[in-house]
Structure formats: structure tokens, C-alpha cells
Chain A
């Protein structure tokens, strides 16, 4: 069974919600990525979204864009990210890992080559930001030959018809973008969120993750009341950028934020 599916089943059984931190692979340095992934797990991550650096991350804000630029400056692209996943899997066979990025590096590698290399490395899900279901047929076909779950986004502007369309092809979980904007934008409105989650839940049995605009433990706990998973990205990536020159301080600061969110979510 896909690690994502079993992880969500276990969480549901114990009445807990998933915490999903995001970091950009190779940022601030490729040697720090695998240790950071293990730290995230120790601090309470249930699933990790690992960003694949791209030169033109249109749906991301300045924080993730800068992280992409730092990683690319050190030659970290999709092939190197898969090597990092392989290295992570040597010491962690259980934590689900989702690659989040843009389509062009996957196109350049070739769908078949990418999907089979990702499966071998131990990737559990692929979230391709600029690939809506309408254009996803070919990649979905190749992903269908493996256990890897195609993860799709939903937005405040997604109609019931689109939610159905996404739900029909998505596996693992759906990622609800909680606000109109790019990653790292202003904080989200929790009250508005509850209605939308209910609307999505009426149309799919997949777990619902919420991200974009979750900056602190209080918001994470509030989101965890209705969603199945909380995604935190820019708040962590921002710290990694600030503390790029002090690996130990960086790991401690990021772990503290994740642990704080874990604590607040479990107290709900």
C-alpha cells in the first residue's frame, strides 16, 4: 500500500491530524537536506513535501523563489533531488515523501524515466503545481504504473464541478490552497476555511490538506480542527534562508516551529 494511504489511515485511527512541512531540496545546501528531513520527522512531521527547485516558480512567493535560486546555484535539480530522496530512504522507510514542483523539469527528464526513477528512490506522491487535471492525462497514465499518488491542488475559486474533476484523478490527498495568492502570502481566514472544507468533503473521501498562509502554531491548530492535514512551507523556508550560514541554529529553529505546531495540533 502507498505510504500516504497507510499514514492517513493510522492517523484517522488515532484521531490525529497530519502535519506536513515543506522545504526546498538543496536549500540552503544539498548536504543539509537529508539531515533536515530527519529532523522534521523527529519534530513531529507525518509527511514531508520536498520542493523541486525551478527557475520560474510562478505560484510561489519570494521566499520559495529565493530558496529555488539558492538550490539551483548549487546545481540541485530534479535528478539531484531524487538522489537526496534515495539517501533519506536509507534511514527512514516509513515517512511518506511528496515531491512538489513544476512540470518542465519532469518534461525535460521524460515522464517514464522520471516516474520510474522516483518510484525507485522511494517517492510516494507527486504534486505538479502547473499541471491541472485537463493536461495531466499522459503523466497520470505513467504514474498509474506505480504506487506514486498524483496530488492535485484545489482553490477557493474551484467550483463543485472542478472539485469532482480533481477528485476523480487525485490519490493520497487533495491540497487545498487556503487563500487567493502565492505561497507565503498573508494569513488565512479560518472561518471561511471551514465552509470550503465541508464543501470539498461532500465531494471526495480523500484526506484534505490545507496550505498557503499557515505561519504559526495557533493557525495550524485552528486548521487542524477541520482539515486532515496542515501544510507549512514558507514559514520554515524563510528561517532556513535567514540561518543558512549556521546549520545547527537552522535545524534547531525549524524543528522548534514544527514541534510547536505538532503540540498545538495534538492539543486540539
Chain B
């Protein structure tokens, strides 16, 4: 239990969101009437299956044998020793099938889509990891799959674009707006409203209209549940701190949620500071934005004085989003989690450091979490522990890294 500093009420995090998807003042269903019935249908289906033993057994079986769960919790002994503080454990979501945590959610939503009788799935993607994870499960279930991706992201993540096409998905370039993740989300919403009868929209993060933030969270909490058991078995106690990168925030909430009621576990979400918060070229709405409404929910946004959404910047395509999941907005306001940031340069340094010291090539997204762990570890004692969510592997980023080093592959 956690005491809300504003009104001193005790919060049981298992009771949130409310029936309409509100986390405090955040979340909700801010969509056009044309989508309200589809959200009702989805919410009813989700409520029906979320506790259904048959559905959960099917999901568990897929997570075990198709995704490869449980993912290891790896004690980074050498890196911990070099940093000279807390013991750092890496939750190895990079070892999942398709190389990131995204597949935990797409497996769940695709099974739900099948039970709802939907034959066509659509998704938005930024870095391409969610697109690949969606195309993967669609291939396995024999569903038609359309992925919306900003033109800018298509250029910087060409490997993932090709992977999606190999898997049989249609990748639609989005040329409107800033041509990144937010515009891909707009386009996917337009597709959904047009093909609402036969189409299931697999949102990749804990944002969007209710029930997406709670549904995606529930599918991702397998990360935190495993971490909890593994820490008790391998370290003999709960971790002192959890660190995860936050774009939309699905890997972070998946790790955090099973620990929310234990106030002694410190939580750190790491946003992308890009070229620095002061430069304005970043993707850190919790650090430098303010509450507003976008993509179906109220949350912190990067916007101008007129409420127009700003273009974002991050070296990591997966964090390049002007909003954030509403549960994170709420956790920030009540002080349960701290939201910090790491610049492009800090993330790149952490990327190289982990690669050379532990022999693990992390995704640029996850490298933001590693960058903050580097700062946090020396402030703690060697008998304390930090779990960092290594949310994805860095193979997809090799072209970006090489280009920054002036190398053409």
C-alpha cells in the first residue's frame, strides 16, 4: 500500500484504473463516437477473458513455448563491480522471440482477436519492434496484417521493415505530420474506424483509449511477476530499485506494476532527453510536458501553448513519442515513481559500455535505462540491488550506431 501525499489516502494499485479507465485524472476514452462501440466490444471481450482459465492457459503456453519465457534475470557482476555500488540485474526481455518485450503483448492481443472472431489485425510501430511482434503472431495465426509506420522511421529501421514484409505483413508508410510514431497511430486509428467490423487494432503500448492502457499493462506484467520470483530466488529479497525506459511506457509498467504496492521498492522511469531537455529536441513529456488529451487518453504531452502536439526527437525510434501511458502520468503526480531522463549521448555511452563489458548488445531504447542505472548504482551499497529492464536487443540499431561512428555497412 502507498499513501497518496495529496490526501493521505492509502492506494491499492490493484484497484486502478476505474471502470472507465481513469488513473486519477488521467486515462479515459477520448475518441470519436465512431470508435466508442468498438471499444465497448473490446472491453467486454477483455473483461470476459482476462480471468478465463482456458484463455490464460493458452496464453501461458504460448509465452512459454513460443516466446521462450520465463526470460532470465542476469546478474551483471562485472558491470556492477566497475560501477562500485549496487548489484545490477538485467531482466533479459531481449532474449524473447523477436527480440523485445513487445511480443508479450501481441501474443495476448492476437489470442483475444481470434476469440473475438477478427480476421484482420493492424498496428502502429515506431522502431518496428511492435510491428515485427504483431506481424509474427499474425503469421502464426494466419491473420491478415497491416502495419502503419512513419516514413522517417521506415528509413531508420529498414531491417525491421524487411522483417515485417518477410512475415507477410503490409507495411504502409505514413507521410502525414511529423512522419513518426504519433502519425502512424493516427493512421491506424483511421484504418480501425473504417474497418471496424473485421479488424482488431493491436496497440503496442500502454497508451490509447481504455481498455488499452490496462490490457497492455496486464499482458506485460509477466515481466514484473517473473522478476519478483527470480529476485527472491537469486538475491534472497526484493530489489531496492527498478529502472526502465519510458516511451509509451509498456516495458516500464510491466516491470513496475507487480511492485507498486511495495513502497520500499524505488521505481525509475527513464525518458529520452534527446539533445537535452533544455534544447527542446527530446521526447520527455513527463519531464518537460504538461497534461492534455491525445490518442484517446488524458496524459502528459509535449505540446505548444496552443495545445498543438510537438515533434519529438530521440536517437531511439521507439521512444520518439510525444505522449506517455496515463498510468505513468498518475504515478508521477502521486510520487510513486520518479521519472528521470537520459540524453542521446548518455544512452549511446551506455550502449557501448554494456556491449563491451557484459557482451550484451542492448536496444537503444533500453540503453536509456542502462544510462540511468550507471548514475544510480554508485549511490547505493553493494548489498543493495537494481533491476534494469533490458527491454530489447540492439541488432535493429546496428545501422544507426554504425552511421554515428561514420561507418557504412
Contacts and interface: CB of A to CB of B under 8 A. Distances in A.
Q: Do A and B come from one complex?
A: yes
A108 B306 contact: yes
A157 B34 contact: yes
A61 B190 contact: yes
Given A65-B176, A132-B29, A108 B307 contact: yes
Contacts of B306: 77-79, 105, 108-109
A98 to B, nearest CB: 16
A159 B41 CA distance: 12
A183 to B, nearest CB: 10
Given A78-B306, A109-B307, A104 B294 contact: yes
Contacts of B186: 56-58
Contacts of B30: 103, 130-132, 135
B301 interface: yes
B31 A132 contact: yes
A129 B309 contact: no
B20 A134 contact: yes
Contacts of B34: 59, 153, 155, 157, 177, 180-181
Contacts, number: 124
Nearest to A153: B33
A5 interface: no
B83 interface: no
A72 interface: yes
A252 to B, nearest CB: 29
Contact of B193 (A65, A66, A105, A181): A181
Interface string B185-225: 01001100111110000000000000000000000000000
Given A107-B307, A108-B306, A132-B36, A180 B193 contact: yes
Which of A72, A104, A131 has the most chain B CB atoms inside 10 A of its CB? A104
Given A56-B182, A58-B295, A181 B194 contact: yes
B37 interface: yes
A56 B177 CA distance: 8
A130 B305 CA distance: 20
Interface in A25-61: 53-59, 61
Contacts of B93: none
Interface string A144-181: 00000000111101110010001000000000010011
A162 B36 contact: yes
Contacts of A121: none
Nearest to B20: A134
Contact of A130 (B31, B37, B195): B31
B196 A108 contact: no
B293 A107 contact: yes
Interface in B252-297: 291-296
Interface residues of B, number: 36
A109 B305 CA distance: 8
B29 A162 contact: no
Contact of A182 (B193, B294, B301, B308): B193
Interface in B135-185: 176-177, 182-183
Given A55-B308, A105-B308, A130-B31, A182 B190 contact: yes
A185 interface: yes
Contacts of A107: 291-293, 307
Contacts of B197: 180
B394 interface: no
Given A104-B292, A132-B36, A155-B36, A62 B176 contact: yes
B29 A134 contact: yes
B50 to A, nearest CB: 22
B392 interface: no
A155 B177 contact: no
A72 B176 CA distance: 13
A157 B182 CA distance: 26
A24 to B, nearest CB: 14
A159 B33 contact: no
Interface in A116-154: 129-132, 134-135, 152-154
B142 to A, nearest CB: 25
B303 interface: yes
Contacts of A61: 190
Nearest to B323: A56
Contacts of A182: 190, 193-194
B233 interface: no
Nearest to A65: B176
B32 interface: yes
Contacts of A159: 37
B38 interface: yes
B362 interface: no
A132 B193 contact: no
A70 B190 CA distance: 20
B293 A58 contact: no
Contacts of B196: 157, 180
Interface of B: 20, 28-34, 36-38, 176-177, 182-183, 186, 189-190, 193-197, 291-296, 301, 303, 305-309
Given A108-B292, A157-B38, 20 more contacts: A56-B183, A56-B186, A56-B295, A58-B189, A58-B295, A65-B177, A78-B306, A78-B307, A104-B307, A104-B309, A105-B307, A107-B293, A129-B32, A132-B36, A135-B28, A153-B32, A153-B33, A157-B34, A180-B34, A182-B190
20 contacts: A53-B308, A54-B308, A55-B177, A56-B182, A56-B294, A56-B295, A58-B31, A59-B34, A65-B177, A104-B292, A105-B306, A108-B303, A109-B306, A155-B33, A155-B37, A157-B37, A159-B37, A166-B33, A177-B34, A180-B195
8 pairs of A and B residues whose beta carbons are closest in the complex: A108-B307, A77-B306, A157-B37, A105-B307, A153-B33, A59-B32, A181-B194, A104-B307
